[in-house]
Amino acid sequence: MIIAAAAMSWYEVPERNWPPTFGAGKEAVRTFDQQRLSDVKEIMREVRALREEDEDDIQLVVFPGWTRIRHRHDKDPKKSIKYLRNQTAKIFRSVGVSAMFEVFGWYDEDPTVYKPEQHLSNRLDADPNVAGGNFIYKHNEKTGNGKFLGPIKQWFADSKEANSRLGPMVGSKLVSSLRPGGDHTVEIGGVKIGFFICSETTILKNIQREGNRAEARYGYEDDESWLDHDVIINPFHASMGNMHKHMKRWERLSQNGRVVIACGSNKNVSWNSALYVYQDGELIIDGGDEAVLRPDHDNWRLALVEV
């Protein structure tokens, strides 16, 4: 089958240089969200055309973090999350494909004050139906409908959290989620898929003295059972710092024949920072490789990955 991985443009919100903006007003956040929705619709028109004209076997489309965003102070967060989820999935249903996407919410009382251990503790207690998370819309071609998996909670946001006192305990939850049947796994078209949400890949650490070689933390490096996947997907929110370290993690995760697909938002006006595909330890696609992408759109790029 073919997985279509979408990288999307980063939209500024006037109040702050941070898309879901912790301090932004409702109209600013709504504008950002509507721009994202417009891009999703355009991407899916492209997917429909590819399926109909070229008969490409696209069965899954992957979107980056912040696919949709609800405002922090919505009166009924659960209702908002459900509405954005259903509105987005309706597009996928009309095309007849499965999709992975995020409806971003909030879980922290004061997200402008960042304390790794407290932030991690708050996330452990958060209700994803309020805080939002990643969803998988799994389409059934026979019925023309589908079902939802999720919302799926993100465990780690950065390496500071992974290094905190709570890190090993949260890491064990992430590993359990990635084992067969866990909520970070799905099977589509006979392909076993596991996914790391954004910086959950910090369960791998980089060894700087060895060229930033990546290995799993907490004693999981010698246990491949939690990586029993054909494909690993890593949707992230925006272009990240220390990209070389992230690339080493994707390289490690793709070993032993796996395919790793990482897609995010293009913050640096460089598609190289927003889309990567690795296979068996080798980088095979990046966002700047126009030969293998659909590059004729300013707001997004689409990579087709056969698995």
pLDDT given at position 131: 83
In sign, the C-alpha dihedral spanning 264, 300, 88, 53 is: negative
Q: How many CA atoms lie within 13 A of 49 on its CB side?
A: 8
- Judge contact between 3 and 59, C-beta under 8 A: yes
Instruction: Give the 3-state DSSP-derived string for 93-159, with helices as H, strands as E and coil as C.
Output: HHHCCEEEEEEECCCCCCCCCCCHHHHHHHHHHCCHHHHEEEEEEEEECCCCEEEEEEEECCCCCCH
Q: What integer is the mean pLDDT of 14-21?
A: 51
Cβ neighbours for 18, distance < 8 A, ≥ 6 positions apart: none
Q: For residue 151, is the peptide bond before it cis, meaning its omega torsion is within 30 degrees of 0? A: yes
At 68-88, the pLDDT tens digits run 988 767 788 899 999 999 999
Q: Say how many domains are in the chain.
A: 1
Instruction: List phi, psi (to 5°) of 304.
Output: -105, 125
Please report, rounded to a whole number, the percentage of residues in the chain having pLDDT higher than 90: 63
pLDDT given at position 68: 93
At 169-223, the pLDDT tens digits run 999 999 999 999 999 999 999 999 999 999 999 999 999 999 999 999 999 988 8
In sign, the C-alpha dihedral spanning 284, 201, 265, 90 is: positive
pLDDT given at position 238: 83
Q: How far apart are CA 195 and CA 262, in angstroms?
A: 10
Q: What is the identity of the amino acid at 151? A: P
Q: How far apart are CA 228 and CA 179, in angstroms?
A: 7
In sign, the C-alpha dihedral spanning 234, 238, 243, 245 is: negative
Task: Confirm whether pTM is higher than 0.85.
Answer: yes
pLDDT given at position 177: 96
pLDDT given at position 107: 53
Q: Give the range of the structural domain holding residue 216, as residue numbers without chain letter.
A: 2-306
Q: Kindly provide the b/e burial profile for residues 274-286, where b requires at least 16 CB atoms within 10 angstroms of the residue's own CB.
A: bbbbbbeeeebbb
Mean pLDDT of all residues in the chain?
A: 88
Q: Can you give the CATH number for the domain in which 31 is found?
A: 3.60.110
Q: How far apart are CA 169 and CA 171, in angstroms?
A: 5
Between the alpha carbon of residue 101 and those of residues 45, 118, 149, 229, the distances in Å are: 16, 27, 11, 19
Q: Kindly provide the b/e burial profile for residues 115-153, where b requires at least 16 CB atoms within 10 angstroms of the residue's own CB.
A: ebeebbbbbeebebebbbbbbbbbbeeeeeebeebbbbb
pLDDT given at position 114: 61
152 falls in which pLDDT band (50, 70, 90)? very high
Strand locations in 199-266, DSSP E? 204-207, 213-216, 231-235, 259-263, 265-266
pLDDT given at position 282: 97
- Judge contact between 183 and 231, C-beta under 8 A: no
